[in-house]
Structure formats: C-alpha cells, structure tokens
Structure 1
Amino acid sequence: MNKLIPDPPVNTAPTSEAPEAEALLRDREAIKRALDYYLDPPDQYLEKPRSPSTMFMIAPNMDTESLLAQVCESLASASVMASDFAANLLGPQRNTALAIQQIIMLAELAVNRALDNVDPQAT
C-alpha cells in the first residue's frame, strides 16, 4: 500500500539517535505490513462463497400446493407450541410469547390464503 504523503526523511548520519532511527524504521515497516494485511489481504484470507448445506433439502420437483400445505401444518404446530409455552409464563414474558404466537398465526393465515389461490376448488 503506497502512501500519498511520504514520511519525513530519517536522518542517516551516525549520531547517538541511531538506535531510535532504526526502531522508527522497524515500526514503520511493521505498520505498513499490518495495514497491507488488513486493507489488502492476500487471497488465502478472503472469504470463500458460502455453499448451502444439503443435509436438509427440499426436493426440487415438489409442487407449490404440497409445499404450502407443509408450511401450513408447520405453522399450526408452532402456533400451538407458542400458545402452550405462553400459558406457563407471567407478565412481559407471557406477552412476548403471545405476540410470537400471533405472528405465527398471521403467517399461517397468509399461507392458507396462498393455498386457496393455488387450488381454489378445495374451499
């Protein structure tokens, strides 16, 4: 990394300040290496693109209706679990759990509407 403004010249004449000048040069070199490392890292330190895990994968040939039905069932289960959990809480924690349950319920309603739009004969 090159600087736009150069450092002031270091006095190279042999004086009693020679050890200080050498220390200053070493410090400048260390600073330059640190800045180069953090501002312009080598390729080996660059992040590699994330590849998703295939441990849990939905079959690519699944139809939209089946996917929406599965989501609807999962949201219904999550809603019941959040409601049961809220029953065991008091005060602000209960209100938070009930708010989470309500968000899940709203998502379930949206998925049900999407499912109705996909297969209107089922209603």
Structure 2
Amino acid sequence: MKKDTPSLPDQTPSHEAESKEPAVLAQPQEYVRKPRRTLPFNEIFSVRTDVDTATLLTHACETLAALNMMTANIADDFTGSQRSRLLAIRQLSIMTEMLVNRAVENLDPVNLVPRTTAPVVH
C-alpha cells in the first residue's frame, strides 16, 4: 500500500539562493505622517503647579547628580578635546548642583533631612 506524502516545497541549492536579491518592501507615502509643526518642549512637557519649591529643587539636584555621573563615565571613553569638553560639561553640572543644594538649604535649613523615625511623644 502506497502512502500519500505531502509535497515538499521546491528546494533550490544554497548557491542559487544566495544569488537572489531579497525583496524590498515598499511603504506607501500615505502612511508616513509628517507633523504640521514642531512643538516646543514647554507645550509637550510640563511641571505640576502644585509642587513646592523644595521638591522641585531636590529633583533638579538629583537630575544634576545623574548628569554628573553620566558625563564622568562617558569621558572615560574619550581622549583629547572630546574628553575636555565632557569634563567641562561635568564641571558645569557639579557647580549647578552645588547652587541648587544651597538654594534648598536657604529655603528650609532646619528640615533638610527627612525624619526616618517617628518622633517621640511623651
């Protein structure tokens, strides 16, 4: 008794398959969306108006500290003038971080460090 076997796809030798160029998928122009105008950052991103100044400065300081570390790490990969420019950016971020820290201290010098334990009440 003869069994029916499904037909296998046409197999071309590997050297013939390599010579064929891959098909290029064309994208119709109608799917490419072009913006009418470029929006400035202040229309895309915003900061809540009800956030207090100390919180804003604290987040700014943390962001500057992260920028400081990133530029230090990137500067290690470069030499010469590129490294000097990255280190200058790092120095500017450190100086700005110091200014923000001083502004936080001037705003609320007593409550700089949040309490980690509950206050003792007798």
TM-score by length of 2: 0.56
Q: Deviations over 1:1-60 (max 9, x none)?
A: xxxxxxxxxxxxxxxxxxxxxxxxxxxxxxxxxxxxxxxxxxxxxxxxx98744311011
Question: What's the counterpart of residue 63 of structure 2?
Answer: 74
**Aligned residue identity for 1:60:** T
Which structure: greater helix fraction?
Answer: 1
Name the structure 2 match of 1:119: 108
TM-score, length-scaled by structure 1: 0.56
How far apart, CA to CA, are the structure 2 residues paired with 1:71 and 1:110? Answer: 11
**Partner Cα separation in structure 2 for residue 52 and residue 79 of structure 1:** 23
Gaps of at least 5 residues in structure 2 are 1-38, 114-122
Moved over 4 A (4+): 50-53
Q: CA deviation at 1:64?
A: 0.3
CA distance in 1, matches of 2:88, 2:44: 32
1:33-112 aligned within 5 A? 53-112=42-101
> Tell me, which stretches of 5 or more residues in structure 1 are unaligned?
1-49
Q: How many residues align?
A: 74
Higher mean C-alpha deviation, range 50-59 or range 88-97 = 50-59
Q: Are the structure 2 counterparts of residues 52 and 72 from structure 1 closer, same or farther at C-alpha, using a change threshold of 3 Å?
A: closer
What is the RMSD of the two structures over their aligned residues, measured on CA atoms? 1.9
- Secondary structure of the 2:82 match is helix
